[in-house]
Amino acid sequence: MEKTWATLSRGGFGHRQLLLVVPQAERDAYLWKVPMTVKVVGCPVRSLVAQRKMARHITEEYKMIFIDDDIEAIRILDASGQFHHASCNEVETAFEMGLEHTNLCGVYPVANRGWMKRTVSINNAYIVGALYAIRNTPDLAEPNNDEMEDWARQLAEQAAGRPVCRLNYLAVQTKYWKNPGGLQTERTVAKRIAAVDAVAASFQELVRKVTRKNGLPDLRFLNRSTQLAQDHPSQRLVNSTSGVALAHMS
């Protein structure tokens, strides 16, 4: 939590409307860790899916940014080619653009200057669950799959014929899988295999099951994504960013 709050403060998010959803048993501890301007809500169960559903239910905001715990930095490859920590305005403006024609907009999964580009991927590009934005509409369903919730959410949107987009010039820096604590410590190979099998079976027209070099199962899109330049005419930047709420998951 401390790393994520430092990241948000550095980017200027501190004055925005912030909603922190945590397991109910940990709510009191978090109240002492964040400013009084942050609304802290306890979720009865320790589940990312349950926490995201709760955040969407208790807010009236139409556009929301979700950020997971333990995010060390949000980085952006700007128009001048500079790679730096993203400001609140840069993040919100990017997501406003991404949500102009979609319900779901994500970021590049790894903050790596050598891999990131000033492009936007339409469909068939993995949207990591650590940082993404949504239009809070009933059309966008939350999956019942904690193990692969990011994949399931994205694939359900695509299967419904609604586009999703990924901003390849915005990314998160995290050591989530290497740090103690959190949901990742409760995940097992058996759970991972079962989750991958279930998602692959549900969306056979979009993905197939593959095996990583480390032996763990994963998913891969059957088709390539459509790539657009960030300044493509259909990707108009929106100057107003007042309608974006930030929901933080722990």
Q: Where are the domains of the chain?
A: 2-177+226-249
Contacts of 191 (CB under 8 A, 6+ apart): 147
User: What does pTM read for this prediction?
Assistant: 0.84
pLDDT at 72: 83
Rounded to a whole number, what is the distance in angstroms from the first to the last CA of the chain? 7
Residue 73 CA to residue 36 CA, distance in Å, equals 23
Give the pLDDT of residue 163: 96
Confirm if 250 and 112 have CB atoms less than 8 A apart: no
pLDDT class of 240 with cuts at 50, 70, 90 = very low
**In the predicted model, is pLDDT for residue 102 greater than 90?**
yes
Q: Retrieve residue 157's tokens.
A: 């949107």
Burial state string for 227-240 with b = 16 or more CB within 10 A and e = fewer than 16: ebebeeeebeeeee
- Binned at pLDDT 50, 70 and 90, residue 190 comes out as confident
Over residues 142-160, mean pLDDT: 92
* Whole-number pLDDT of residue 234: 47
Judge whether residue 132 has pLDDT over 90.
Answer: yes
65 - beta bridge partners? 133, 246
Average pLDDT in the 50-64 region?
Answer: 88
For residue 96, the surrounding DSSP H or E stretch is helix 88-98
Mean pLDDT estimate for the chain: 84
What one-letter code names the amino acid at 222? L
Strands 18-23 and 39-43: parallel
CA dihedral 175, 128, 235, 221 (to 10 degrees): 130
The residue with tokens 């059309």 is 139
* Mean pLDDT of all residues in 111-122: 94
Residue 137 clears pLDDT 60, i.e. is over it: yes
The percent of residues above 90 in pLDDT, for the chain, comes to 52
